[in-house]
Amino acid sequence: MKILKYLLPILAILLLIGAFIFYPKYQRGMEIDALMQPSMYAHSFTNMEKYFPAKEVKKSANPHVFPKNTTINLPANFSYEGQSFNTTAYLDSTGTQGLLVLQNDSLIFENYYKGQTETTRHISWSVSKSFISALFGIAMEEGHIKSIEQKVEDYLPELIGSGYEGVRIKDVLQMSTGVGFNEDYADFNSDINRWFRSFAFGDSQDEFATTLVREREPGTFNHYVSINTHVLGMILVKATGRSLTDYLQEKIWQKIGMEHNAYWVADKEGMEMALGGLNATLRDYAKMGQLFLHNGNWQGEQIVPEAWVKSSITPDAPHLMPTSANSSDQGLGYGYQWWIPESTEGEFMAIGVFHQMIYINPTTQTIIVKNSANPYYLEMTSVYSNELVTLELFRKIAHQSTSLL
């Protein structure tokens, strides 16, 4: 009884300590789970700074306002593989929150839905990857990074012993690292969902990268691994000595007339979510499209090296082609963090989950940007989760715009 008399207070203290330590994490887990329910997407994707640490990217001192041309009507319908879609119904079903069309550098369509406005900053998810690629090309031009033929560990010795040891930077850029990774967002236990939960709790993304292991020979198979882009971000920070936010603000945001402040969500160590955490307005995403439409040149100033832009949008190995059997993404090829559809018109795209997109067609001189909160995205058999369907809508808009203007 005497022992019990002393043990009970100790047990009570331990329970209180346990509750103090674990309850906040449980509470955070419940908050994030609620945040990522389909009914919350439209709110969550336009309010990420309320739920995660955020680092501000300051708007340009000389904002560029797109000139306006005759406003077009969207095509009433379009088709994909013999199936016809009503455009308005399709845009609604894919949770479209913003849609913008530039034709010959002029604004010809802009509309907002489900709470987004022209000043709303919407998370880009993996569209962020294409911004990282642009920064990488700039860092190469400035001499911070010597060659993409170098190995990852030349800049990140902390990744020796991980799946990234011995991998060329080029293979990281082209999603061909051979690192094993399950990117299935519908699978609760997938690697991408393990990473997101870890990020939500504030854990180090750098540390997460050290846990991944080799699955295939690098440079032989196109397998989309989001953490690859985080590794690129780590290299940029190490090589330039600057944060991604700071580098983006100086090298791109200020130079191409971004109209609004953006922000990058980050982990508790201050490292940006390089693979998908950039939040900006629809018009400012369109400026990135315009920059790449013009081969990295903005009104006479070469912002991103032209050679880098061309390499970024050119699959240069068999496994990177849209029809390759050695690819996990049939129908879309890959460059340096840009998607390349099978095309005769040189089209390329930045694509993020839940249907965030920047579409660029150099032949028709068309740029289309779409922000979305797609409630069907995790239903992989749903036609509304298929980016190739949206691509056909974009193509019809591009050709209609060319013929009308």
- Residue spans per domain, the chain: 38-404
Q: How many residues does the chain have?
A: 405
Please report the beta strands in 12-105, taking only residues with DSSP state E, as ranges in sequence order. Answer: 54-57, 77-80, 83-86, 96-103
Residue 298 main-chain phi, psi, to 5 deg: -120, 105
**Token pair for residue 222?**
């196109």
- Pair 372, 354: CB distance under 8 Å: yes
Q: At residue 194, what is the residue type?
A: R
pLDDT tens, position by position, for the chain (405 residues)? 555 455 555 544 554 454 454 445 667 767 888 888 999 999 999 999 999 999 999 999 999 999 998 899 999 999 999 999 999 999 999 999 999 999 999 999 999 999 999 999 999 999 999 999 999 999 999 999 999 999 999 999 999 999 999 999 999 999 999 999 999 998 989 999 999 999 999 899 999 999 999 999 999 999 999 999 999 999 999 999 999 999 999 999 999 999 999 999 999 999 999 999 999 999 999 999 999 999 999 999 999 999 999 999 999 999 999 999 999 998 999 999 999 999 999 999 999 999 999 999 999 999 999 999 999 999 989 999 999 999 999 999 999 988 776
- Pair 367, 358: CB distance under 8 Å: yes
- Alpha-carbon distance of 7 to 25, in angstroms, equals 27
**Token pair for residue 201?**
């709790």
- Alpha-carbon distance of 359 to 391, in angstroms, equals 8
Q: At residue 334, what is the residue type?
A: Y
**Superfamily of chain region 38-404:** DD-peptidase/beta-lactamase superfamily (3.40.710.10)
- In three-state secondary structure terms, 360 is strand
- Alpha-carbon distance of 236 to 88, in angstroms, equals 41
- Alpha-carbon distance of 94 to 88, in angstroms, equals 10
